[in-house]
C-alpha cells in the first residue's frame, strides 16, 4: 500500500493538470490523492485507494498518447493531463435474473439481451482499456459461445468501471456481459456449503428469536 499523501512532502515535486486545473503533487502520489490534496472541484466520494470500486475512471494524455485507467492506482507524472470521466450511462441491456427458471434457454436469452455480442470485431479495445488486465475479449467470445461459467471466471476481478464498454465500437457492453455470466452461473448453481450452513444457522436463530418474542407477548 502507498504512503499517505501528507507523508510525501519530502518527495520531488510534480506538476500536472487535472480537469483543466494545474495541480502540484509529489512523486509517489496517486492521481486521486493529488486531486484531493489540490481540492479539484467535483471529485468527491471517489477513490477507495485499493482499485476495487471502479468509480475513479480517468482519461490521460501524455504528449499525443491517450490512455484510460483508474485514478486510485495510477501515479502522478510531470505534464500529465488527466480528466475524470463521468459515471457511465445505464446499460441498454435489460433482464431480471429472477425470471430465469430454465437453464436450457440461457443461450437464447443471452443473445436476445446482448445481440451485439456475436459481432465482436476483435479490435482488442476492451482489453487495452481494462485497468484490471482482464481478458475481456476472450470473456465475450466465451459468453457468445455459451460458456458462461468460464466467461464469468474471466471477469472475476472486474470492478465495473465500464471502461471496456466505452471502448467497444460494437456497443457490446463487455462489462455487462461479464456480470450476466457471473449472475447466471450463481443463479443455477448451489452456493458454497459454508455459506449455505451459515445462512441456515442465521435462519434458525431468527426463528428462535421470533418464538421468544411471541412467548413474551
Q: Which residues are at the interface with ligand SF4 (CB under 6 A)?
A: 54, 120-126, 129-130, 132, 134, 136-137, 140, 155, 158-164, 167-170, 172, 174-175, 178
Residue nearer to ligand SF4 on the CB measure, 23 or 158: 158
Compute the least distance from the CB of residue 139 to ligand SF4, in Å.
7
In sequence order, the 6+-apart residues with CB closer than 8 A to the CB of 43 are 18, 19, 32, 35, 36, 84
Compute the least distance from the CB of residue 215 to ligand SF4, in Å.
51
Compute the least distance from the CB of residue 26 to ligand SF4, in Å.
28
Compute the least distance from the CB of residue 131 to ligand SF4, in Å.
6
Compute the least distance from the CB of residue 56 to ligand SF4, in Å.
12
Which cell is 46 given?
A: 471517489
80-84 long-range contacts, CB within 8 A, separation 24+: 80/16, 80/17, 81/16, 81/17, 82/16, 82/17, 82/18, 82/19, 82/31, 82/35, 82/58, 83/18, 83/19, 83/58, 83/59, 84/18, 84/19, 84/35, 84/42, 84/43, 84/46, 84/56, 84/57, 84/58
Residue nearer to ligand SF4 on the CB measure, 60 or 159: 159
Residue nearer to ligand SF4 on the CB measure, 16 or 172: 172
Residue nearer to ligand SF4 on the CB measure, 14 or 148: 148
Residue nearer to ligand SF4 on the CB measure, 14 or 72: 72
Amino acid at each position: 500500500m502507498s504512503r499517505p499523501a501528507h507523508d510525501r512532502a519530502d518527495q520531488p515535486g510534480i506538476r500536472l493538470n487535472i480537469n483543466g486545473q494545474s495541480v502540484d503533487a509529489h512523486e509517489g502520489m496517486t492521481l486521486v490523492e493529488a486531486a484531493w490534496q489540490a481540492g479539484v472541484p467535483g471529485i468527491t466520494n471517489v477513490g477507495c485507494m485499493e482499485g476495487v470500486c471502479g468509480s475513479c475512471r480517468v482519461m490521460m494524455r501524455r504528449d499525443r498518447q491517450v490512455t484510460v485507467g483508474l485514478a486510485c492506482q495510477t501515479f502522478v507524472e510531470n505534464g500529465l493531463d488527466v480528466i475524470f470521466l463521468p459515471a457511465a450511462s445505464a446499460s441498454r441491456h435489460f433482464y431480471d435474473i429472477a425470471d430465469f427458471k430454465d437453464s436450457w434457454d440461457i443461450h437464447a436469452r443471452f443473445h436476445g439481451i446482448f445481440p451485439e455480442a456475436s459481432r465482436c470485431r476483435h479490435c482488442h479495445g476492451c482489453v487495452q482499456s481494462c485497468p484490471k488486465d482482464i481478458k475481456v475479449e476472450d470473456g465475450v467470445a466465451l459468453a457468445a459461445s455459451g460458456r458462461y461459467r468460464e466467461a464469468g471466471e474471466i471477469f472475476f476481478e472486474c470492478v465495473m468501471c465500464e471502461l471496456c464498454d466505452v471502448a467497444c465500437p460494437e456497443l457490446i457492453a463487455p462489462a455487462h456481459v461479464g456480470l450476466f455470466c457471473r449472475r447466471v452461473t450463481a443463479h443455477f448453481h448451489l452456493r458454497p456449503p459454508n455459506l449455505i450452513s451459515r445462512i441456515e444457522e442465521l435462519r434458525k436463530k431468527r426463528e428462535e428469536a421470533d418464538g421468544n418474542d411471541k412467548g413474551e407477548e
